[in-house]
Structure 1
Amino acid sequence: MKTRIFDPTRREVLAGLGASLGASLGASAAGLMAGGAGPLVTAQLALQARAATLALGPGQPATPIWELAAVSHLGDVRLKRLDRCEVVFRNDLPVPLAPVWHGLNGPTAADPLRGRAPTAPDATETSIISVPSAGTLLADFRLFEDGLKQPARPLPIIATETGRVAVDRDVVVLIEEWRLRPDATALPPGQDPKDTTALYTINGKTSFELSASAGERLRLRFINGSQRSVLAIKLENHEVQIMALDGQPAEPFPARNGALVLAPGTRADAFVDAAASAPFLLHDGKEARQVGSLKVSGKLERAPLPPAQPLPSNDLPEKLDLRAALRFDVALGASEAGWTRPANFSTASAPTFRTKTGRTVVLALKNLAPLTTVFHLHGHHFRLLDKLDDGWKPYWLDTLAIEPGQTQRIAFAATSPGRWLIESVATDWAAPRLVRWYGVD
């Protein structure tokens, strides 16, 4: 892949951009380390919004896209739980943009529609974010898709646990969907996909290959980076043990038939003990297709690994007080309920609900649309309640797909003061992304 802005190699880009951004990063960090105001900065990250290309069709020209890139890192972006990270964001695209972080709860400047303006074209802004939890995060431009001229790639970000996790390999598996025109250009979401072909990639490739030795325990961080589709991914002939969802540890449980069903934006950490070579199969609700393979070499020369232990807790509450909870009905996507496109959003609009800090909130999410609709909660993770409202599933989520005509109830502890967004989008490429907000006082 070659960017359309930079001709140098990635290493030269890092050197050049890192030099210009590093002065800002270094000066701020040095000031804090020398006893300046505020807690110590423990990590630094340089992000860039830029044009790029991606090879999506054999024998076809490379497809122009936009992307959020971490120019300060050669490989995966890895922060640590409890880091205080200084982020320098450079916008080299022709529209105002800002990265939005999925899974980063708590007070943060990373939610731009709550009052902070996006970064103008050809401008650089610096912010400081706290990383309260370990887990798999995702940063993207979805809230600005009304202005995107090209489909945009998201950026996976890993917040590692403070202690070691007993795995041999830790691999990001980013699934993306594209709507490709006959001339090899790609259609941004929110537009009619007429005369386009659906195409899926993993880590930017149309065929993903992962190599492992027999007996290795793999931590696979599956991310549905698609814009609209609920997808199922399966590794044939392996037990897939789900360890975390949407960046929060879960009580380990096996994926049914080895398949994970992921709504757009959902992240699932799974442990897999490599046994034999096998294909990765992707199902988009219409058909299954092979999108990659696990190539296993050697013979198993050690005893089977013991069952995986739960990941360390991120200190979310063990119990939620449902009896004393505030309860609200939320009709997803209904225009009369106050939903609007992000470009028209204002916090002067009426909130979906308000609550005091520390209260438990139960939302009855009603999908009145004829299509499955995806709900995303900013600022907090939630529990999916059982049908009788007398308990919850043994995991936390920040994103949920709700089938047509269905109502799902969720509950969360309102621990992060501020104004936070909620999102709703139907699983149709042409459907608009809609937002509202809620307040925690």
Structure 2
Amino acid sequence: MFCRMTQASEWLSRRAVLGGFAAACAVSWPRLAPAAERTSVTLEARPESVALSSGRPPSPVWGLAGGSRVLRLARGAVLDLTLANGLSIPAALAGRGLALAAPLLVQPAAGPGGRFTITAAAARAGTGLLDLRLLGDGAAAPIRPLAIVVDESPAVTADRDEVFLIEDFRLKSDGTAVAPGADARDAELIYTVNGEVQPDLALRAGARVRLRFINGCQRAVIAVKIAELEAARVMAIDGQPAEPFLARNGAVVLPPGGRTDVFIDMPAKAPLPVLLHDGRDARPIGRLTLSGEPPLRATPLPPPAALPANGLPDKLDLRNAVRADIALDGADWRTPVKFDARAAPAFQAKAGRTVVLALANKTAATTVAHLHGQPFRLLDRLDDGWKPYWLDTLALEAGQTQRIAFQAEAAGRFLIESMATEWAAPRLLRWYEIG
């Protein structure tokens, strides 16, 4: 049975969700080992269905199938990645945590019934995501993403390693799911975990568990909390190792496409409700339950060591950085169907240089910015330091400016995405160049 809440929890306000995240939270090819293993992976974009409510038939959706719900790879693997497009719209493959050709710039879209093969690399360990949503606004059905796990080398020890992919759906009265970019004001909001509504995850008491939280929602910034759990230790954010720290108030905040890996030690007292807050309501989305097996250990383990480094620089040269201002105002942005790579880039820099971007949200809505190809640091207010983790996505409240920095790793052209956190808001694109 699932835990039911009689009242919405007030443990996190909308400002806390967004402000807490902002305060907390061609292709970049990091150098691979000379003997990197090469393999072939075929993904199929195809119509599927998912059961989203009782008493109604499963809702049609579009999915990205690769043989399992998680694409799991060894660090250093090189892929010949084939996409077969079984959808009625063009498909462009975007990735987080996997280095692949820049969609719409280097990688062309595949038309309905078409296919393409590109080379991709699992150059860094971590939790990632593949999706076809760049061209999915206003489509006949919402598009589901595919989770990626690239394992560390040497392996990181945990008793369980579980992907926790959270998705949101808007259902019309007939049970049909609405794609983003369209009006869904009267639609019912449903959240799923790994494609199920309020599932149980059975764990052994005393087990150390790695939970890979992924925000697969279309537009929403969310906070996730395991109720009644003493400690959730954050180990990685957006696929990159972080200096381990305890999640503030036990909650992790995730923008669309964001990922956070936490380690927990499963207590003997359960079930533990997993709660989601989207800035308006708190609701249960699943539970951690006991497996019924004897406790795995009587004495708690010591706090986990930091995850192995992923090859990102320890320091950034901010004094000699290339600097650019980018307004998230829609003026120089285009929707994906109107995107033109012949337009002037948002900025240009040489490979190896440090780049500092001032992202200014000049709109009246909370806006999310996603930088393809480059993990970045969130800078302190005076540009005299940075937060102890890397990001690839950032949520900015209306009127807010944040500064980010990264070291340009390789020559190429890359996308920048921007979108407001409203279901009907369009996805917008610009591009930048590393020469």
Secondary structure in structure 2 of the residue aligned to 1:146: coil
Q: Tell me the CA shift for residue 45 of structure 1.
A: 1.5
Ranges of 4+ aligned residues in structure 1 off by more than 3 Å? 38-41, 297-301
2:251 is matched with which residue? 259
Secondary structure in structure 2 of the residue aligned to 1:178: strand
**Residue 148 of structure 1 is aligned with which of 139, 144, 155?**
139
Secondary structure in structure 2 of the residue aligned to 1:112: coil
Contact 1:47 1:88 in 2 (8 A): yes
Secondary structure in structure 1 of the residue aligned to 2:406: strand
Work out the CA distance in 2 between the residues paired with 1:243 and 1:300.
22
The answer to which structure has the higher helix fraction is 1
Moved more, 82-91 or 377-386: 82-91
Matched letter for residue 327 of structure 1: R
Change (3 A) 1:280 1:225: same
Per-residue Cα deviation, 1:62-101 (whole angstroms, up to 9, x for no partner): 1010011113xx4531111111112121111111102211
Matched letter for residue 185 of structure 1: T
1:104 is matched with which residue? 98
Secondary structure in structure 1 of the residue aligned to 2:104: helix
Matched letter for residue 344 of structure 1: K
1:306 aligns with 2:302: yes
Work out the CA distance in 2 between the residues paired with 1:41 and 1:375.
33
Q: Tell me the CA shift for residue 299 of structure 1.
A: 4.2
1:45 aligns with 2:41: yes
Contact 1:104 1:379 in 2 (8 A): no
Number of residues of Structure 1 aligned to a counterpart in Structure 2: 397
**After the TM superposition, which residues 380-395 of structure 1 pair with which residues of structure 2 at under 5 Å, given as runs?**
380-395=374-389
Q: TM-score, normalised by structure 1?
A: 0.87
1:13 is matched with which residue? none
**Residue 240 of structure 2 is aligned with which of 237, 248, 261?**
248
1:324 is matched with which residue? 320
2:115 is matched with which residue? 124
Work out the CA distance in 1 between the residues paired with 2:109 and 2:297.
54
Work out the CA distance in 1 between the residues paired with 2:174 and 2:115.
34
1:237 aligns with 2:219: no
Work out the CA distance in 2 between the residues paired with 1:147 and 1:86.
30
1:397 is matched with which residue? 391
Contact 1:233 1:260 in 2 (8 A): yes
Contact 2:138 2:181 in 1 (8 A): no
1:353 is matched with which residue? 347
Work out the CA distance in 2 between the residues paired with 1:320 and 1:349.
30
Per-residue Cα deviation, 1:348-406 (whole angstroms, up to 9, x for no partner): 00110001111111111111111110000001000000112110000000000011111
Work out the CA distance in 1 between the residues paired with 2:399 and 2:300.
45
Change (3 A) 1:96 1:300: closer
1:63 aligns with 2:55: no
**Residue 433 of structure 1 is aligned with which of 400, 420, 427?**
427
Q: Which 5+ residue runs of structure 1 have no aligned equivalent?
A: 1-37
Work out the CA distance in 2 between the residues paired with 1:374 and 1:154.
18
Contact 2:138 2:179 in 1 (8 A): no
Contact 1:379 1:416 in 2 (8 A): no
Work out the CA distance in 2 between the residues paired with 1:345 and 1:68.
23
Q: Which 5+ residue runs of structure 2 have no aligned equivalent?
A: 1-33
Q: TM-score, normalised by structure 2?
A: 0.89
